[in-house]
């Protein structure tokens, strides 16, 4: 499934420039070492973390997009850095579990 | 391969140098002298088998000489190399000499070395390493969470532009990132050296900081010395060093309390 399709299906808020890509799966974690170690290239990364460092982490392992849940505010400097490194940041008012269920419903494995 | 060389013994005598590291000088030759105080230049232009002539009396000079595959260093103006430099040099089999001459004087004296200039056979055979494609140096500021990740991002871009396999790049990126975060969280500052060739990629992270009290403990998954604030940011899971080890082919770590930590990571290119 493509990223743009997911954004539409789940009406996610787009905070950066979006480059469409293939989604390879979903990874949920708020610990950066965990993401660095176990998330796969092309994954959607769901987290409550919104500080700048999520951009480097996402970029280094080629995450297709970061979805920040609970409507947590994403600071300007994170968005700026994300645009600079072509990292897509999305946000959702949903709780992480709810968002994950919707993704499963939408057909993401 | 035959090359002309100068005996290190002759250089020692010409400069009236003191030898601080290097057990046996007899029979040891160098094929080139690199005179510089700029270590990026050494890494970029120095040739393997050379001797570094420098006024820079720091561990950076020793590390640069090692990465560039020099035989050793000569420190100018009577500066005394400290134990950190000597320990490193001895471990890596680098010569360390010191002379009271300044750069120009030393060059003149070496250029005037008379006598037979032996031809050395096969000098590059045993020390032959694959062609270095590129080397880079970076700096990390400790406690600077705003810029954390910048160095590993640059490393990734460089490796990507060279065209390494994406899985290999991922392993290097993860390892460098974890090491970079450790510096930001626990140290004052660090130098990072990247060397990439067709056979292997090497990353050295040498930091100045509080050091690691118990390396064995630090290597245990889940063991962390991160602050509450750092954990709230998602750091300090205690997986940093184990992740580096897991992702690399060779992992070396040394640390001294209140001095800092030295990490060398090597990835083989298949």
ipTM of the complex as predicted: 0.81
Q: Looking at residue A92, what is its pLDDT?
A: 96
**pLDDT tens, position by position, A41-71:** 999 999 999 999 999 999 999 999 999 999 9
| Co-location of B48 and B115 in the same domain | yes
CA angle in degrees (0–180, nearest 5) for B257-B258-B260: 80
- Whether residues A36 and B178 touch (CB distance < 8 A) is answered with yes
Domain ranges of chain A: 3-106
CATH code that applies to domain A3-106: 3.40.1390.20
- The whole-angstrom distance between residue B133's C-alpha and the CA centroid of its chain comes to 16
Q: How confident is the model at residue B25 (pLDDT cuts 50, 70, 90)?
A: confident
Residues of chain A with Cβ-Cβ distance to B246 below 8 Å are: 37
**Which range marks the domain in which residue B16 is found?**
3-127
Chain B residue at shortest CA distance from A85: B153
Total of domains in chain B: 2
**pLDDT tens, position by position, A83-108:** 999 999 999 999 999 999 999 999 88
B124 vs B67, residue with greater confidence: B67
- Whether residues A61 and B235 touch (CB distance < 8 A) is answered with no
Cα–Cα distance for residue pair A15/A76, rounded to 1 Å: 10
What are the tokens at B16? 């009236």
| Co-location of B201 and B246 in the same domain | yes
| Co-location of B248 and B153 in the same domain | yes
| Co-location of B143 and B114 in the same domain | no
Cα–Cα distance for residue pair B37/B53, rounded to 1 Å: 8
In a mutational test of the B interface, the residue from A28, A43, A59, A60 whose CB has the highest number of chain B CBs within 10 Å is A60
Q: How confident is the model at residue B147 (pLDDT cuts 50, 70, 90)?
A: confident
B49: left (phi over 0), alpha (psi -120 to 50) or beta: left
Cα–Cα distance for residue pair A62/B173, rounded to 1 Å: 11
Q: Which of A34, A56, A60 sits opposite B237 (nearest CB)?
A: A34
Residues of chain B with Cβ-Cβ distance to A60 below 8 Å are: 149, 152-153, 156, 170, 173-174, 177
B38 vs B124, residue with greater confidence: B38
- pTM for this entry: 0.70
């Amino acid at each position: 499934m493509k990223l743009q399709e997911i954004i539409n299906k789940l009406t996610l808020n787009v905070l950066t420039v979006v480059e469409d890509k293939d989604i390879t799966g979903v990874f949920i974690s708020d610990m950066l070492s965990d993401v660095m170690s176990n998330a796969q290239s092309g994954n959607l990364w769901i987290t409550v973390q919104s500080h700048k460092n999520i951009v480097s982490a996402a970029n280094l392992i080629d995450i297709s997009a970061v979805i920040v849940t609970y409507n947590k505010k994403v600071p300007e400097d994170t968005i700026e850095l994300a645009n600079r490194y072509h990292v897509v940041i999305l946000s959702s008012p949903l709780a992480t579990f709810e968002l994950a269920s919707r993704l499963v419903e939408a057909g993401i494995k | 391969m035959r090359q002309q060389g100068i005996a290190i013994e002759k250089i020692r005598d010409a400069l009236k140098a003191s030898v601080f590291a290097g057990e046996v000088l007899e029979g040891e030759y160098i094929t080139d002298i690199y005179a510089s105080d700029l270590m990026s230049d050494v890494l970029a232009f120095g040739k393997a088998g050379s001797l570094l002539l420098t006024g820079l009396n720091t561990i950076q000079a020793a590390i640069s000489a090692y990465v560039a595959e020099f035989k050793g260093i000569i420190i100018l103006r009577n500066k005394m190399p400290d134990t950190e430099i000597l320990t490193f040099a001895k471990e890596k089999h680098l010569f360390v000499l010191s002379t009271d001459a300044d750069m120009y004087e030393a060059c003149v004296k070496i250029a005037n070395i008379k006598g037979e200039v032996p031809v050395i056979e096969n000098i590059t055979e045993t020390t032959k390493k694959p062609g270095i494609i590129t080397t880079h140096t970076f700096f990390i500021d400790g406690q600077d969470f705003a810029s954390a990740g910048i160095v590993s991002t640059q490393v990734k871009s460089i490796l990507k532009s060279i065209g390494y396999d994406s899985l290999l790049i991922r392993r290097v990126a993860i390892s460098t990132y974890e090491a970079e975060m450790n510096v930001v969280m626990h140290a004052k500052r660090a130098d990072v050296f990247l060397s990439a060739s067709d056979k292997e990629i090497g990353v050295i992270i040498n930091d100045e900081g509080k050091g690691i009290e118990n390396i064995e403990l630090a290597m245990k998954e889940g063991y962390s010395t991160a602050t509450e604030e750092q954990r709230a940011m998602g750091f300090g899971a205690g997986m940093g060093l184990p992740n580096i080890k897991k992702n690399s082919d060779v992992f070396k770590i040394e640390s001294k309390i209140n001095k800092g930590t030295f990490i060398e990571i090597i990835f083989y290119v298949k």
